[in-house]
Amino acid sequence: MSVALTSFYDDIRARARLEPAAPAIIDAQDSRIWSYVDLLHQIDRCGGFFATHGATPSQPVMSLLSNSTEAFIAFLASLDRGQGFAPFAPDATADEVARWASLVKPSLCLVCETTEDAVLDALREADVPTIAATLDGSFGWLGSDGPTGAPPLSPARLYLTTSGSTGEPRALVIDGDRLWSSGMAFCGVHDFLDGDARFFNILPMSYLGGLFNLGLIPLAAGGSVVIAPAFSGRSFLSFWQDVERYDVNVLWLVPTIVRGLLSIAQRTRRHEAVPGAQDVRACLIGTAPLDLATKEKFETLFDIPVLENYGLSETTFLTSETLKTRGLRQEGSVGSVLPYVELDFAATQADEPAAQGDTSLAQVRSKTPFMFLGYLNGDGTLDSELDDSGFLATGDLGEATRDDLLVIGGRLRDIIKKGGYLVPLREIETLAERHPAVEEAIAVGLAHDFYGESYNLLLRFADASEGDGAIDNFGAWLRGNLVRYKWPEAIAAVTEIPRTSSGKVRKHQLAEQLASGAA
């Protein structure tokens, strides 16, 4: 099935003409409702402001803003004007921010009042101008209104952080109109995604979860989105009350939140009268796998259908459960292959078992109309990593059933999804090995009851006699150099590391030892 690409610039204006007063954004900070006309006005202002500061597809706007209407509109303005946008975690360390800035070479960086002085110093040292954005809905930091936005002269680019085989950060680059068109195509698969759909955006806007799943897709449906702070432990206490308060009828959650809501409901029996749940059309899951038992338990307790989706940042969504097909699901299945997606399955040639999963399965390869542009190298070039037929190797192991469901059985590449966040383990190892006392670092993925996946960090110290004190010192150093969601579950010292005949670390063996308590 071929899919025509569409223009965000054209579509957002058409929506503002047809339904000018329809709600587009509801700001949970002050309950303000932004209509599509309001939204377009601020997109025009913001895009013009970025243009005067030199923003282009190759010189993006970098953003360290936390979840807010400002962060979302800054992203939309970049799409609208054909500029570049490079969000980054607002709680990242100064070293991480400096490395990201040196890679994407931004024209400016949006910061807020909570941005740490060390981060601001790092940006100054990198010669990146900063704009302090007050997150109060006024957009006063934009100054006076600029000219109405003209059609973009070139496609916008979104830069997302990722890591290559070396563990050093790279930027995954996505064409803005392809991303928007993917959201439009996804909405076409689900009947409940219409102009009355209202989403609850609680995923971080430094990743696709907050920008695409819970940002562009609501607008592509012609619906609205409630923008709230990124989910935290405190959010569990008011979650269902907020769903009712803002008339939310579509949820998009990660497994961590699903498990947390289940735990609270079972402990307090609040699920017997959950406010707002009866009006929720569906709960979409799309950033990490969710086991069948947990899906069914959530559906039973809250009477909300759970629809799992599977994809990569490089491809957007490849499969999706629907209200009609979810009855076909089985353990490990992640929905039906979307009508505009091609998948095939390639035999692997690994010289050792995969770190996770059934090695009898084949690697999933994918092709869609919405493929990313490539990975950004330090010299500004892009590596697409597509083969001659336009397919991308996903790194996941799987198979297709007779019902056209995709079943995922494991993963070849050493990357985990911790609570919906992508954590490249090689990046952790590379950082750990910068510590002067560490000779070698091995990050070993493991299943986690709450996060779905996490990891332990094993260290071989240069001095084998190093003890608990060295681990404590290293842990304090790591916490100062690594964003919190990437922290390991545990840190341990080892003196021997199992390897293959070619010298590769046998991570699967370490994982088995950790599971049995032998490591």
Residues 423 and 382 in one domain: no
- Residue 197: inside a domain, yes or no? no
- Residue 131: inside a domain, yes or no? no
- Residue 473: inside a domain, yes or no? yes
Q: Containing domain of residue 404, as a range?
A: 341-413
Question: So what's the pLDDT on residue 90?
Answer: 95
Q: Which residue has the higher pLDDT, 40 or 423?
A: 40
Question: So what's the pLDDT on residue 415?
Answer: 77
pLDDT above 90 for 226: yes
pLDDT above 80 for 234: yes
- Residue 489: inside a domain, yes or no? yes
Residues 394 and 420 in one domain: no
Q: What CATH number has the domain bearing residue 502?
A: 3.30.300.30
**Mean pLDDT, residues 330-358:** 72
Other Cβ atoms less than 10 A from the Cβ of 290: the count is 20
Q: How far is residue 515's CA from residue 498's CA, in Å, rounded to a whole number?
A: 16
Interstrand relation of 282-285 and 250-253 (parallel, antiparallel or unpaired): parallel
pTM of the predicted model, to two decimals? 0.85
Helix, coil or strand: residue 278:
helix
Point out the least confidently predicted range of 182-191, 440-449, 470-479: 440-449
**Mean pLDDT, residues 352-378:** 75
Residues 421 and 505 in one domain: yes
Q: How far is residue 98's CA from residue 93's CA, in Å, rounded to a whole number?
A: 9
335, 308 contact by CB (below 8 A): yes
- Residue 447: inside a domain, yes or no? yes
Q: pLDDT for 92-136, tens place per residue? A: 999 999 999 999 999 999 999 999 999 999 999 999 999 999 999
Residues 345 and 401 in one domain: yes
Residues 377 and 449 in one domain: no
453, 418 contact by CB (below 8 A): yes
Q: How far is residue 504's CA from residue 297's CA, in Å, rounded to a whole number?
A: 41
Other Cβ atoms less than 10 A from the Cβ of 59: the count is 17
pLDDT above 80 for 514: no
Q: How far is residue 443's CA from residue 494's CA, in Å, rounded to a whole number?
A: 12
**Mean pLDDT, residues 152-170:** 77
Q: Which residue has the higher pLDDT, 278 or 87?
A: 87
Residues 509 and 437 in one domain: yes
Helix (H) or strand (E) holding 306: strand 306-312
Helix, coil or strand: residue 181:
helix
Residue-averaged pLDDT of the chain: 89
pLDDT above 90 for 511: no
Q: Which residue has the higher pLDDT, 467 or 82?
A: 82
Q: How far is residue 406's CA from residue 318's CA, in Å, rounded to a whole number?
A: 9
- Give the pair of three-digit tokens for residue 505: 């670390």
- Residue 21: inside a domain, yes or no? no
Alpha helices in 273-352 (DSSP H): 292-302
Q: Among residues 365, 381, 413, which one ends one of the domains?
A: 413
**Mean pLDDT, residues 129-144:** 93
349, 380 contact by CB (below 8 A): no
Report which DSSP code applies to 186. H
**Backbone dihedral region for residue 247 (phi beyond 0: left; psi -120 to 50: alpha; all else: beta):** left
**Mean pLDDT, residues 286-309:** 89
Q: How far is residue 32's CA from residue 24's CA, in Å, rounded to a whole number?
A: 11
Q: What CATH number has the domain bearing residue 365?
A: 2.30.38.10
The string over 267-278, giving b where at least 16 C-beta atoms fall within 10 Å of a residue's C-beta and e elsewhere, is eeeebeebebbe
Question: So what's the pLDDT on residue 348?
Answer: 58
DSSP annotation string for 71-87: HHHHHHHHHHHT-EEEE
Task: Band the pLDDT of 355: cuts 50, 70, 90.
Answer: very low
Question: So what's the pLDDT on residue 459?
Answer: 93
Q: Which residue has the higher pLDDT, 199 or 347?
A: 199
Q: How far is residue 35's CA from residue 26's CA, in Å, rounded to a whole number?
A: 9
Q: pLDDT for 16-35, tens place per residue? A: 999 999 999 999 999 999 99
Q: Among residues 388, 413, 438, which one ends one of the domains?
A: 413
131, 109 contact by CB (below 8 A): yes
- Give the pair of three-digit tokens for residue 356: 């996770």
Question: So what's the pLDDT on residue 63?
Answer: 98
354, 398 contact by CB (below 8 A): no
Q: How far is residue 159's CA from residue 440's CA, in Å, rounded to a whole number?
A: 31
Q: Give the chain's domain count.
A: 2
Q: How far is residue 75's CA from residue 226's CA, in Å, rounded to a whole number?
A: 16
In degrees and rounded to multiples of 5, residue 338 shows phi and psi of -65, 150
Q: How far is residue 224's CA from residue 214's CA, in Å, rounded to a whole number?
A: 10
Q: Among residues 413, 444, 469, which one ends one of the domains?
A: 413
Question: So what's the pLDDT on residue 44?
Answer: 94
pLDDT above 70 for 359: no
Apex CA 167: angle with CA 161 and CA 173, to 5°? 30
Residues 432 and 506 in one domain: yes
Residues 345 and 355 in one domain: yes
Nearest alpha-carbon partner for 180 in 375, 376, 10:
10
Residues 429 and 508 in one domain: yes
- Give the pair of three-digit tokens for residue 13: 């204006």
Question: So what's the pLDDT on residue 350?
Answer: 41
**Mean pLDDT, residues 145-171:** 75
Residues 371 and 462 in one domain: no
- Residue 360: inside a domain, yes or no? yes
Question: 199 burial class (0-12, 13-18, 19+ CB within 10 angstroms)?
Answer: buried
Q: From residue 296, how far is each of 174, 245, 292 by CA, in Å? A: 35, 26, 6
Point out the least confidently predicted range of 332-336, 452-456, 460-464: 460-464
- Residue 75: inside a domain, yes or no? no
Which residues are bridge partners to 447 per DSSP? 453
Task: Band the pLDDT of 139: cuts 50, 70, 90.
Answer: very high
Share of the chain above pLDDT 90, in %: 66
Question: So what's the pLDDT on residue 72?
Answer: 98
385, 113 contact by CB (below 8 A): no
Nearest alpha-carbon partner for 361 in 382, 346, 339:
346
Residues 428 and 384 in one domain: no
